[in-house]
Structure 1
Amino acid sequence: MGHLGFSYIGMIFLIMLFIPNMIWTRYQPKEYSSINENKVLFIFEKVGQVCVTCVALIFSDFNIHHLTLWSPWLLAAFAVMILYELWWIRYFRSKKSIKDFYSSFCSIPVAGATLPVIAFFLLGIYGKVIWMLIAVSILGIGHIGIHLQHRKEIKR
């Protein structure tokens, strides 16, 4: 279920998530708009964002205590977050078009939305925190759903 306490690993993941997103606010694609977002997906996304952020910080189960059979899950989560950072580097080096923003990376569709959801899900498995698995599932439905919706719109 999880043990309450600060998670420095959760903080690291959130920093890896938030920094490129803050930079992105200055380099959004000119065509970017959230006007046509599905309201249900939007609510799932926002609730998921708040829940994932809170859960990532308040459960010490995500911290490294010692190596166990669960440690590869943390390594996999970090590897996926590194892929996420590499996706952002590719985006920032691109023309920053809407097509670049909703692009795939390493065969992962809408990688900017999918990679962090996968990473936090793997973190939830590593920490054995059901609240993270629930929160990131809610986030994934909304965030990935919205990105797929936008990608479908730009292909028209």
Structure 2
Amino acid sequence: MGHFGFSYVGLIFLFMLIVPNLIWAKNQPQDYNFKNENRVLLLFERLGQVLVTFAVLIFSDFNPREWSLWTVWLVAAVFLMLAYEAWWIRYFKSKKTLADFYSSFCGIPVAGATLPVTAFFLLGVYGKVFWLMLSVMILGIGHIGIHLQHRKEIQ
């Protein structure tokens, strides 16, 4: 269920998530419009963001421990977050269109939403923290759902 304590790995993951989004605020895609987002998906997304941020910081179970086969979950989570950073680099080097923003990366659809959600979920698996996994599922329903909605609108 999780052991209370600070997670510096969680903080690093949040940092990897937030920094590109802050840069994106000044580099949004042409014709970006969020006014028609599904209110239910938006509620899931916002609630998930708060819950994930809270859960990833207050459980120390995400910090590395002795190497074991279980560590593969942490390695996979880190790999996905690095892929997320690579996706952002590709976006920032692009023409910054809506198609670029809702693009796939290495075969992963709407990678800007899917990669970090999956990475945080795997971090929850590594830490064996149900609360993070549940929070990520709530976030994923909203965040990935909204991205799929927008991708559908531009096609």
What interval of TM-score do these two structures reach, taking the shorter chain for normalisation? over 0.9
Aligned sequence identity (%): 66
The corresponding residue for 1:61 is 61
SS state of the match for residue 112, structure 2? helix
Query: Following TM superposition, where does structure 1 have runs of at least 4 consecutive aligned residues deviating by more than 6 angstroms?
Result: none
Normalising by the residue count of structure 2, what TM-score does the alignment of the two structures yield? 0.99
Tell whether 2:21 aligns with 1:21: yes
Q: CA deviation at 1:30?
A: 2.1
Matched residues in 2 for 1:106 and 1:58: separation?
32
Q: CA deviation at 1:68?
A: 2.0
AA matched with 2:5: G
Matched residues in 1 for 2:69 and 2:89: separation?
32
Q: CA deviation at 1:69?
A: 2.2
Structure 2: any 5+ residue segments left out of the alignment? none
SS state of the match for residue 145, structure 1? helix
Normalising by the residue count of structure 1, what TM-score does the alignment of the two structures yield? 0.98
Q: CA deviation at 1:131?
A: 0.2
Structure 1: any 5+ residue segments left out of the alignment? none
The corresponding residue for 1:106 is 106
AA matched with 1:5: G
Matched residues in 2 for 1:111 and 1:138: separation?
18
Q: What are the Cα deviations for residues 72-101 of structure 1, in whole angstroms up to 9, with x where unaligned?
A: 000000000000000000000000011100
AA matched with 1:73: W
Q: What are the Cα deviations for residues 16-45 of structure 1, in whole angstroms up to 9, with x where unaligned?
A: 000000000000012111100000000000
Matched residues in 2 for 1:51 and 1:66: separation?
28
AA matched with 2:10: G
Matched residues in 1 for 2:2 and 2:94: separation?
41
Paired residues, number:
155
